[in-house]
Amino acid sequence: MATLPIPVKFSLHPSTSFLQFQFQSKSQTITFPRKINVVCSASEQSQKRQKQQNPTKKKESIDDGEKGIDPVGFLTKRGITHKAFGQFLRERYKSLKDLKDEILNRHMNLKEMSSGFEILGMHRHPEHRVDYMEWAPGARYCALIGDFNGLSPTENCAREGHFGRDDYGYWFIILEDKLREGEEPDKLYFQQYNYVDDYDKGDSGVTIEEIFKKANDEYWEPGEDRYLKNRLEVPAKLYEQIFGPNGPQTEEELEDIPDAETRYKAWTAHNEPTPYDVIDSGKEYDIFNVIVDPEWPEKILAKKPPIPYWFETRKGRKAWLKKYIPGIPHGSKYRVFFNTPNGPLERVPAWATYVEPDAEGRQAFAIHWEPTPEHAYKWKNTCPSVPTSLRIYECHVGISGSEPKISSFNEFTKQVLPHIKEAGYNAIQLFGVIEHKDYFTVGYRVTNFFAVSSRYGTPEDFKQLVDEAHGLGLLVFLEIVHSYAAADEMVGLSLFDGSNDCYFHTGKRGQHKYWGTRMFNYGDPDVLHFLLSNLNWWIVEYKIDGFQFHSLSSMIYTHNGFASFTGDLEEYCNQYVDKDALLYLILANEILHALYPNIITIAEDATFYPGLCEATSQGGLGFDYYVNLSVSEMWSSLLENVPDHEWSMSKIVDTLMSNREYADKRLVYAENHNQSISGGRSFAEILFGELNEHSPNYKDSLTRGSSLYKMIRLSTFAIGGRAFLNFMGNEFGHPKRVEFPTPSNEFSYSLANRQWDLLAKDGVNRDLISFDKDMMVLDENERVLSRGFSNIHHVNENSMVISYIRGPLLFIFNFHPTNSYGSYSVGADEAGEYQIILNTDEVKYGGQGCIKEDQYIHKTISRRVDGLRNCLEVPLPSRTAQVYKLKRILRI
């Protein structure tokens, strides 16, 4: 496009790589980033201009942004005083500011910092090519090898010092598409293609010259392009003005020409100064202040670039396929080849989005995933809104089928998602989805962080799973493992570029103390770039609604959490705490919640680090929920080690209500996959696993197991917490544990599935799923989880009865194995009429039906019990629980 006839100053900003155009009459700067695919709003562009015009005001803007920030704010709110921990929080905040400054020296903003997937890895470029970028600072040579180039390490390469590697260790390789036989190269070297549409404006047959002429004719106002169309008019007029119409034609005929200042003064003596005169202030450098008519900059800035004409030069997918053969076709296998000080290496690219092992399972290749438009998945549903309470269904795709095999994304979508919706849950949490080498690791030893596991299907299949879940109103959470990585070298990140410190710490610090996995170096900005981009990738590419961060204690402490904790705050700020890991978690929560306000982040930390769910501006880590891990451990211990009559009611209440001040941030579960997978037994296996239909006590044992199973789930669900989690199959008491195929079981899949067929048979499993559905309905109708704290007013160790009030609901549990009470007194806050709305002893739930329908409604008695003014006298069979709702208030 032609240049504007206005004096401007051109400069290349050294740190931001932006070309700046500055009009000299005003302090205005227009920036055009080199990445043309970034779209910013007008307000964002204005803020960028102001930031670049006034770099000296950076400190002032930071101070303005720090209003309302208190590094020890949550300590003050909780009334906690601890000098060492408070000082640690202040130093951590200072380190966070320094880290952000370091990041902003290399990235435009934190959004760009967390969007590395836009340029790293394999990407199709509009100019009929594919760009590949990889971070490997320890390598000296980088090349792509695969079936597309005959595994040649020299055909597609980049060498250090040859425009292939920058100072930070990022390698850049271009894979040009190949011209088909008989086709001519494009006339425009910058010819672009639209790879999505078969037909585009560029296929209309209009020539480039016609498009440019049309752009100039419609873009410029009359007279503005006068000097563009007649480029010799200005020098000809100037020559005639100086020398006259019959001026000299050769150098010999020229006389001595006065200097420019003398000629300028002589000219201004007869003419008024123009608005474009250059005024030299006497300074020695060759930059002059140019006086410009103020209307000109406003007029030019008001113009919109003729982008539609630029896009009109683009050609469509049909024209591209007619002229070119893709340099790397869809489905091609490839690896990255490095030459390092220790010799040549082949690795699976760190940013690969699809990875598939070969037939023997020993070596993996990345798969170039670029499906045609007709095969690419098209999203149909929008993400559902976040509910006030979360009922999360935890699941593993591979074991979700009934057959002894690895199930697929498509099978899960068709068979399991409808069951989850029918069961009353409003969110699913997937684990084991991200690519991992060994199936028996359950997905926790991740090898390829940007790839869905190929053993379940393709990226398009996973998109369909997420989309169908959204269509059913289910949120989709992903359990993310950023606390460690697989130690595998051929597939994973370990020794990726030949050096031991590429992504991880060196020495013992880089190895997990017990699990043999590699520990990330969270103090390296490029590692942060990788991990933060990974979080953003799953949201942008797959529309994930939230994350559960796995095993935070492994990353927060250098001892990986394998130490005894007394609760002293000193243990959370001593030399064993990894401050860099905490800074990463703070950055992750800040960026995720800033970019996606509805995102949900859940922390799994056995040590419950102080401030886990507090705002980052108040010294916290910024998570929305934390997992109460102690509850499932308590129930497992009681079921396996303690006789029923020795259960402690106080211990149950204390464990369920631990960290009461964070009850609105608590995610609770009676059992998750750990009880079923990690070498243990599920509660159903403990309660029902050894029952024999022909044994004399079969019926009593079955009633005991069913009763305790329902009471454990209801008490955990309703006593405290704003979110509840259930592992796949536990809602109907799946009778078997999960056992992945390993050498110890001769790689058997017999226990690596779920027995959905039990739901079609009469029996305890159908009874339990009926109860679980009604428990979910209870929350849907009465908002149990989203209500305030439970008021636990009755805990009796002798009668083994627990009672508490939550909103208008009164919960009563009788854990006694033998004693039933015909008229048991419990306190009630409001005088009125109470009705049973959920009873674990109903026949349809596999109970005995000891409470008849005419006993479902009770009126309070004006008698002080449990410190409350009123009481209810209710029937209470052994091993049962009832939920009463205040139906009518009596005014006294």
Q: Which residues are catalytic?
A: 604
Output the six-digit token pair for 804: 């508490």
Instruction: Output the DSSP codes for 301-338.
Output: HHSPP-HHHHHHT-B-HHHHHHHEE-SS-TT-EEEEEE
What span, in angstroms and rounded, lies between the C-alpha atoms of 415 and 222? 67
- With beta carbons less than 8 A apart as the criterion, state whether 404 and 737 touch: no
User: To which H or E segment does residue 409 belong?
Assistant: helix 409-411
Three-state SS at 791: strand
What span, in angstroms and rounded, lies between the C-alpha atoms of 652 and 635? 8
Instruction: Output the DSSP codes for 343-397.
Output: EEEEE--TT-S-EEE-TTSS-EEEE-----TTTS-----PPPPPPSSEEEEEE-G
b/e per residue, 660-697, with b = 16+ CB within 10 A? eebbbbbbbbbbbbbbbbeeebbbbbbbbeebeeeeee
Token pair 């109460």 is found at 628
Side-by-side strand order, sheet with 791-796: 791-796, 801-806, 809-814, 880-889, 832-839, 857-859
- Give the CA distances from residue 889 to residues 95, 838, 860, 862, 886, in Å, rounded to whole numbers and listed in that order: 57, 20, 10, 13, 7
| Beta-ladder partners of 265 | none
- With beta carbons less than 8 A apart as the criterion, state whether 535 and 585 touch: no
What span, in angstroms and rounded, lies between the C-alpha atoms of 612 and 622? 7
Q: Beta strands of 186-249 (E only): which ranges?
A: none
What span, in angstroms and rounded, lies between the C-alpha atoms of 495 and 400? 35
In 10 A of CB 152, how many CB atoms?
14
Three-state SS at 831: coil
In 10 A of CB 418, how many CB atoms?
12
What span, in angstroms and rounded, lies between the C-alpha atoms of 624 and 600? 6
- With beta carbons less than 8 A apart as the criterion, state whether 772 and 423 touch: yes
What span, in angstroms and rounded, lies between the C-alpha atoms of 677 and 674? 5
Output the six-digit token pair for 62: 């930071």
Our separate counts of H helices and E strands in the chain read 24, 34
User: To which H or E segment does residue 625 belong?
Assistant: strand 625-627
Residue 75: closest CA among 88, 63, 64, 66: 88
Residue 393: closest CA among 777, 766, 736, 724: 724
- Give the CA distances from residue 560 to residues 502, 564, 628, in Å, rounded to whole numbers and listed in that order: 20, 11, 19
What span, in angstroms and rounded, lies between the C-alpha atoms of 810 and 791? 10
The three-point CA angle 70-76-81 to 5° equals: 120
In 10 A of CB 213, how many CB atoms?
11
Residue 411: closest CA among 5, 144, 754: 754
Q: How many CA atoms lie within 13 A of 865 on its CB side?
A: 20
In 10 A of CB 106, how many CB atoms?
14
